[in-house]
């Protein structure tokens, strides 16, 4: 966005900043959000590469399809721990997990 447009919008009351500023997240909370977002992308990629539907992947992980779908969308009700378990249930190993988490940081 060019400087003039930004200034014009600010005069009209618009504010600019990062997500963490807008939501009032601490640095630690922001890292968790970023980790969950990267892990959600990795879940989708790994599942599709395996040729599985969400229903098949959720059965393999012994969870419901709706819960699995929420994990793939980084829903706030899904813990980071559960997302990691789902990733491992798709055949991922620690090396893959650490690679995904490094991307977030």
Q: Confirm whether 13 is domain-assigned.
A: no
Q: Own/partner pairs for 47-56, CB < 8 Å, 24+ apart?
A: 47/72, 47/90, 50/90, 50/91, 52/90
Q: Confirm whether 12 is domain-assigned.
A: no
Sign, CA torsion 7/13/19/20: positive
pLDDT (0 to 100) of residue 6: 86
Q: Confirm whether 6 is domain-assigned.
A: no
List, for residues 40-98, the tens digit of each pLDDT value: 999 999 999 999 999 999 999 999 999 999 999 999 999 999 999 999 999 999 999 99
CA pair distance 35, 49, nearest whole angstrom:
21
List, for residues 5-35, the tens digit of each pLDDT value: 988 988 998 878 777 777 788 989 888 889 9
Whether the model clears a pTM of 0.85, i.e. scores above it, the answer is no
CATH number, domain of 65, equals: 1.10.260.40
What total number of domains does the chain contain?
1
Q: Confirm whether 9 is domain-assigned.
A: no
Q: Confirm whether 58 is domain-assigned.
A: yes
* Residues of the domain holding 68: 18-104
At residue 17, φ and ψ (nearest 5 deg) are: 175, -170
Q: Tell me how far CA of residue 1 lies from CA of 9, 42, 74, 96, in angstroms.
A: 11, 31, 28, 36
């Amino acid at each position: 966005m060019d400087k003039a447009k930004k200034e014009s919008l600010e005069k009209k009351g618009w504010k600019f900043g990062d997500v963490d500023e807008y939501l009032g997240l601490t640095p630690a909370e922001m890292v968790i959000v970023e980790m969950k977002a990267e892990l959600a992308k990795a879940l989708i990629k790994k599942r599709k590469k395996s040729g599985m539907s969400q229903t098949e992947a959720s059965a393999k992980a012994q969870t419901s399809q709706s819960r699995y779908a929420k994990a793939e969308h980084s829903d706030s009700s899904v813990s980071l721990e559960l997302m990691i378990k789902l990733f491992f249930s798709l055949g991922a190993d620690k090396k893959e997990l650490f690679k995904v988490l490094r991307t977030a940081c």
